[in-house]
Chain A
Amino acid sequence: MYQLRGFDLSNMSIIEGKTGWILVDPLTTKETAAAAIAFAREHLGTKPISAIIFTHSHIDHFGGVLSVLGTDQDTQIIAPVGFMEEATSENVIAGTTMSRRSMYMYGSQLEHSARGHVDSGLGKGPAFGSPGITEPTHIIDHTGETLTIDGVEFVFQNAPGSEAPAELTFYLPQLKAFCGAEVVSRNMHNLYTLRGAKVRDARKWSHYIDEAINLFPDAEVYFGSHHWPLWGNERIIDFLKKQRDGYKYIHDQTLRLASQGYTPREIADMLEMPEALRSNFSNRGYYGTLKHNAKAVYQMYFGWYDGNPANLDPLPPEEAAKHYVSMMGGADAILQKAQADFDKGDYRWVAELLNHLVFAEPDNSAAKSLLAQTYDQLAYQAESGPWRDVYLTGALELRQGAPKTGLGIANAGDMIDKTPVNQFFELMSVMLNGPKADGKTFTLNIEFTDLGKTYVLQLENAVLHQREGEPASDANATVRITHPLFVKMLTGNAGIRDILFSDEVSVEGSKLDLLQFFALLDRPNETFNIVTP
């Protein structure tokens, strides 16, 4: 068994089979996967790829597959149940918002330096290149499934809804080796990820780790999708138990404190891990943190509202900020107080205070400068890579403004073509500008000439619905288009008008109506402001 580490955010592992290599997790991009496999061949010789395993539906575990797949049609590709749907759909309708927030979480605009980006906690950082995907040939849908792949015996654990919605782990009895995928890692993972995502279920996650301990008690080597391996049964069991208990402790203690009436911000400040976990490096918050994970548990059970009526319907940030600034005696008085508190090192408070001033007076450069300095200190004190990058990116954008370009989903390349087309109708629904669409009705047939499928879109009550089936006879217009072109029209840089009226598309019905309909869709803003209003 071999492992390629440091070629990407994630690891690529190689298991020697009878005739070739079984690859586990072919990295994020074609570029990094190609570099890694070339390096492996340089040092280990060239062997055919007999199988590929995608441990889960996150892109850093399958995106480079097209570089390693080659032309052999017989390569087995194994993935957990739900893989394809989760891998292609996770980020479509919420994609722009998540991408913009990812720029903070991963510090994509930051220089790599002692005062800049240092690490992400899972690896050095995401690889921004060309991702791809391919359909699995075999789906693991239950725990205990065994397979012999190229002469190597595998026992799988199906772990959906752990670290990812579709995820598996496996054990190799002949080697006594346990691959924990990303269900376990050498730090505290995220119950909530700061780019924004649905929260993960800590109780279920912890249960899967407990199950793995019981399923594979004889492991002599552990390896994972990130970080480095462990050797020796005793150490492996200790590691797994502490991973299991880290998540369960946060879960249980958050609910205990909530049952005493404490609310998320209070719980996050009160909680401390028990000594055995606190001092253990593989439980430290290098990626996730105890604080934001405790809030995630609260969110899982109780949602955004903490129960205090003052927080039920507070003023939006700018309006509240203007009141605060006026009440506190204006900008100069606030800056003076903020500087004094900064000098005392009370950075969390200074950030809260100056955030009000910046939201009330976004052109106040003294306020932005001191807030940026405050974020610098919060960044340097953060153990979590994402926390550091969030603060440093906030500081950067206070100093330089929001970026010129985003990381929009148009950059997802080959991935987009594999995304089910109904996802893009869902995307259209969330692009619809409700107030502009108010009072309008419209029916549109979209016939995909390459898929042989027709969808009917219907606008009423400022809501856009979709259904697959027979074209509507009373449609305002019918568009005949290919799937890739349709996707390009929605997500690419070319204008909708240019594509609709190109030779590759045929339109029946009123072109004017059609244009007016598409004009109701808001293009997402990939570079929206975050640290300023």
Chain B
Amino acid sequence: MPVNCPRTYALCVALLCLPLLACQGKSPSDTTQGAQGNTPATETTIAANAGVRESLNLADQQDFDDASRGLIAAPAALIVAGPNQSKVWDMPSYDFIKG
């Protein structure tokens, strides 16, 4: 590999792992509960998170570009089985995260 041309290739599943702002609850009118009983985000929480979103330059997509640069391959649905029918690793369980 030429000295002046360092390259890193990626074989990856998760491009980004920011536990970010795309994952808040629904509107306050949504009174349904998650399977574990979690209640929806309130107006206060939605406003607080919107404040964080506005404080950041989310148009800057450099991290997303870096994370996908040189991608060779990614498994479609990576589940790694463990002992006694357990799952050691379960990427499809994160499919709810979009954008």
Residues of A within 8 A of B (CB): 1-8, 29, 31-32, 35, 39-40, 42-44, 110-116, 118-124, 127-130, 174-177, 186-187, 220-221, 223, 227-231, 279, 281-282, 284, 286, 344-345, 347, 372-373, 376-377, 379-381, 383-385, 388, 392, 395-396, 399-400
Contacts and interface: CB of A to CB of B under 8 A. Distances in A.
B48 A381 contact: yes
A40 B15 CA distance: 17
Contacts of A1: 1, 6-9
Contacts of A114: 23-25, 34, 96
A454 B83 CA distance: 36
Contact of B81 (A2, A31, A111, A174): A31
A32 B89 contact: yes
A44 B73 CA distance: 10
Contact of B17 (A29, A119, A381): A119
A174 B7 contact: no
A383 to B, nearest CB: 7
Contacts of B20: 286, 383
A380 B24 contact: yes
Given A6-B14, A114-B24, A281 B63 contact: yes
Given A2-B11, A228-B66, A279 B57 contact: yes
Given A39-B11, A114-B23, 5 more contacts: A7-B80, A39-B75, A44-B72, A175-B1, A229-B69
A406 to B, nearest CB: 15
A223 B14 contact: no
Nearest to B38: A115
Contacts of B59: none
Contacts of B44: 344-345, 347, 377
Q: Counting chain A CB atoms within 10 Å of each CB, which of B9, B37, B43 scores highest?
A: B37
A383 B19 contact: yes
Given A115-B25, A129-B80, A129-B82, A399 B18 contact: no
Nearest to A27: B89
B3 A174 contact: yes
B1 to A, nearest CB: 6
B96 A35 contact: no
27 contacts: A1-B8, A6-B12, A8-B89, A29-B82, A35-B78, A42-B73, A43-B72, A43-B73, A114-B24, A118-B19, A118-B97, A121-B18, A129-B82, A174-B1, A177-B8, A229-B8, A229-B69, A231-B8, A281-B63, A282-B63, A376-B25, A376-B39, A377-B41, A377-B45, A380-B49, A384-B19, A392-B36
Looking at chain B, what size class is its interface with the partner chain?
35 or more
Contacts of A376: 25, 38-39
A31 B85 CA distance: 13
Contact of B80 (A31, A227, A284, A399): A31
Contacts of B80: 7, 31-32, 35, 127, 129
Contacts of B56: 279, 281
Contacts of A223: 8
Interface in B72-93: 72-75, 78, 80-83, 86, 88-91, 93
Contacts of A395: 36-38
B42 to A, nearest CB: 6
Contacts of B12: 3-6
Contact of A35 (B38, B66, B89): B89
A59 to B, nearest CB: 13
Nearest to A382: B19
User: Which has the most chain B C-beta neighbours within 10 Å: A2, A122, A123?
Assistant: A2
Interface string B19-63: 111011100000000111111111111001100100111001001
